[in-house]
Structure 1
Amino acid sequence: MDNLPERQNPHAHLRASDTDRDQVVDVLRDALMAGRLTQDEHAERLEQTLQARTLGELEPITQDLAVPGQPFQPVAAASNSPVPIEEPANPSDSFEAMVAVFGGGERKGRWRVKRRINAICVFGGHDLDMTDAVFEGREVTIWAFAMFGGIDITVPDSVEVRNEGVGIFGGFGARGGESPDPNAPVVIVKGIALFGGVGGQVSSRRHKKRFRDQGGQGHGQLH
């Protein structure tokens, strides 16, 4: 297949869905019927479509077939999640390690919550506020180790939280919102608190003034 010009697409790294691939197949079929593609070109591009894993791989396949003024735009699979989810192109790379020794670390605002997070604090602390975060998966696992320190986690109330940690001369507890949304991500908290604590607070309580001004819904909590 000829080299096609590249276009900037901020969603190029996202996983392609069956709907995205079907859309490309339709465009290729129309191009074949209209004579814009030969049989061999159609077969080659169809094979590339079926093998494409991301939107960035799909887009060039029909880029030179777009009607002027109406360029083809792959669309991500629809999501009913009340919390933003953007699947990474390579899930195995969705990992972050956070270490705080005699100090502290903080995540807040529009940060990306990786599928796997290792949070370690020794005589220090971590503050992970997921209120406005983008999740990189429908299941997130936090491995927490707190010794003479603490890890505070805040989650939206639609997010389910599963507590699988242990406290030894310390506290380790996790609790999600009262009515988690089945379409929202699940946060699994594992690890150990040794003379320390792993816990959190409800987003609407932490940001009560903001939620009151916005008239927004409450967010979940992790104790």
Structure 2
Amino acid sequence: MTKPAAGAAASPAVAERDIRASDADRDRVAEILREALAEGRLDPEEHAERIDTVYRAKTLGELEPVVQDLPAAGGRGPRPDPGGYASGPGAPVPDQNLVAIFSAAVRKGRWRAPARINAVAFFGSVEIDLTEAVFPQQQIQINVTAVFGSVEIRVPENITLRSSGSGILGSFEVETHDAEDTDAPQVLVNGYAVLGSVEAKPKRGAWIRDLRDRLRQGHRELRQQVWEEHREYRQQLREDRREWHERRRSERRERRDPFRKDMDG
């Protein structure tokens, strides 16, 4: 066997335009088209044609021409979906404060988790459930202060959970865990417990990928709805054009009839 010569060019990588388009890529381009329609840059028929192209596109290169003449594109072609755990494009989520003073504070269900959460329990209890949360960024920091109170944190099984907190005459128990996926979100729990308790651990059976699948299903249903609406719209346009042509032909016949009668007479 012969070794390749030094400095020989490696096999070329796949060009970005040839990368397969993801659902998120198509949704981003569709959003640009919706804004262009609202601003009057596209008429309804052009919008319908381009939306049809978007949802038939297989690669990023097929998506680029659809928005290259629109300022909303900002000179950027669609980027490949990193396949991570984010919910999609959106404004940064502001920090959230959960304070329980002789009371209880709970945050759970489907929500967009911010990069920083501050939890304070003073003779009260705070519950933070991230098992159904959407992670717009990879790292979330939870700062905890528990004084004669308790803070309970639950996270999905397939994320990284770490801690640098301590207990002072109290308990600070964090079940640290490293996810197998290096791109998985990381939750860092910091703070202290004074005559109180802090507990953070994965919730068995709760996987963040399940939520991502549900989001993808929601995108598919939305695309199907948009497709049906545009198909009905295009059908209506065709019918309107046929009616318009029929009226024009009828008007031309009416204008020609008097001349024919005069010639026959």
Question: TM tier, shorter chain?
Answer: 0.5 to 0.7
Q: Taking structure 1 as reference, are residues 50 and 24 closer, same or farther at Cα in structure 2, changes over 3 Å only?
A: farther
TM-score computed with the length of structure 2 as normaliser: 0.49
What residue in structure 1 maps to residue 171 of structure 2?
A: 171
User: 8 Å contact 2:159–2:178 — kept in the other structure?
Assistant: no
Percent of residue pairs identical: 30
Query: Which of 74, 81, 94 is the aligned partner of 1:78?
Result: 81
What's the Cα RMSD here?
3.2
Q: Which amino acid aligns with 2:74?
A: L
Structure 2: how far apart are the matches of 1:201 and 1:175?
5
Partners of 2:123 and 2:61 in 1: CA distance: 54
CA distance in 2, matches of 1:124, 1:22: 55
**Amino acid in structure 1 at the alignment position of 2:96:** E
In 1, the alpha carbon distance for the partners of 2:155 and 2:126 equals: 14
Superposed displacement of residue 173, structure 1: 3.1
Residues 180 and 102 (structure 1), Cα distance of their counterparts in 2 relative to 1, 3 Å cut: farther
How does the TM-score come out when normalised to structure 1?
Answer: 0.57
SS, match of residue 110 in structure 2: coil
- Residue 161 (1) aligns with residue 193 (2): no
Cα pair distance change 1:148/1:78, threshold 3 Å:
same
Q: 2: distance between equivalents of 1:106 and 1:86?
A: 22
1:113-124 matches, within 5 Å, as 113-124=113-124
Deviates more, 1:148-157 or 1:173-182: 173-182
Q: Give the distance between the partners of 1:126 and 1:174, measured in 2 at CA.
A: 15
- The 8 Å contact of residues 163 and 176 in structure 2, kept in 1 or not, is answered as no
3-state SS in 1 of match to 2:74: helix
| Structure possessing the higher radius of gyration over alpha carbons | 2
Structure 1, unaligned runs of 5 or more: 8-19, 30-41, 53-57, 59-73, 208-223
Higher relative contact order (CA 8 A, sep 6+): 1
Report the Cα distance in structure 2 between the residues aligned to 1:180 and 1:198, rounded to whole angstroms: 25
Higher helix share: 2
Q: Is 1:129–1:155's contact at 8 Å kept on the other side of the alignment?
A: yes
Shift of 1:127: 1.2
Structure 1 consecutive aligned stretches of length 4 or more whose deviation exceeds 3 Å = 20-25, 87-90, 176-180
Segments of 5+ residues of structure 2 without an aligned counterpart are: 1-34, 40-58, 207-265
Go from structure 1 to structure 2 and tell me whether the alpha carbon gap of 1:176 and 1:51 turns closer, same or farther (over 3 Å shift).
farther
Amino acid at match of 2:154: T
